[in-house]
Amino acid sequence: EAGVVQSPRYKIIEKKQPVAFWCNPISGHNTLYWYRQNLGQGPELLIRYENEEAVDDSQLPKDRFSAERLKGVDSTLKIQPAELGDSAVYLCASSLTPLDDTEAFFGQGTRLTVV
Amino acid sequence: GNSVTQMEGPVTLSEEAFLTINCTYTATGYPSLFWYVQYPGEGLQLLLKATKADDKGSNKGFEATYRKETTSFHLEKGSVQVSDSAVYFCALNRQNFVFGPGTRLSVLP
């Protein structure tokens, strides 16, 4: 069975440009997360979906970040405009249930470099 | 809010040495606790978990026990191998996963 698939793996853009990341979770996983991981740090939550509903977007910088999961399956995270400080690895994860004892499965991430 | 603290790295050990990576947490209620590992060039993957107090999670020779009284979930392995070289993340899940900063382990032959 395929794991969580993210694309692209790497992206280099100039500041003020837009960028989008795509994630396809494991089939049947209704819970989807987007995390940001800065160099040498642990992942930090940006947004969590249950099906197509964003149930926690309190850490998403809404002035420049947006996300969607229109059909409750794959998801897109967008940044517009990008800033130098947005350089990081963006991780998508999914889990079978929203229960606390359920593990999250992570994709390999998209490494964004803003120059 | 919920948070996870783990020992600073990097940790460098010789093969067959004993490993401990300390992890403590702060959370409302009773979260589930996890250790994730990130091998070079790979994504985060679950190493082990424990979902209630006094539970012991184990996998690949690694163990960790959920200690509610000390709010800890320390990772241990009796004899590390070169292939264990990776970054280890302690995490809790209480509606959302919260991760520690990671501890880089290097095992020398």
**Beta-sheet pairing, B103-108 with B11-14:** parallel
Nearest CA in chain A to B40: A108
Helix, strand and coil content of chain B, in percent to the nearest 5, comes to 5, 55, 40
**Quick one: pLDDT band at residue A1, thresholds 50, 70, 90?**
low
Minimal Cβ distance to B94: which of A40, A100, A105: A100
CA–centroid distance for A108 within its chain: 11
CA–centroid distance for A19 within its chain: 12
Show the tokens assigned to B92.
């809790």
Q: State yes or no: pLDDT of A31 exceeds 70.
A: yes
| Chain B contact present for A41, CB below 8 A | yes
**Quick one: pLDDT band at residue B24, thresholds 50, 70, 90?**
very high
Is residue A82 within 8 A of residue A13, CB to CB? The reply is: yes
What residue type is A82 in one-letter code?
A
Q: Which pLDDT score, from 0 to 100, does residue A98 have?
A: 87
Q: How many residues does chain A have?
A: 115
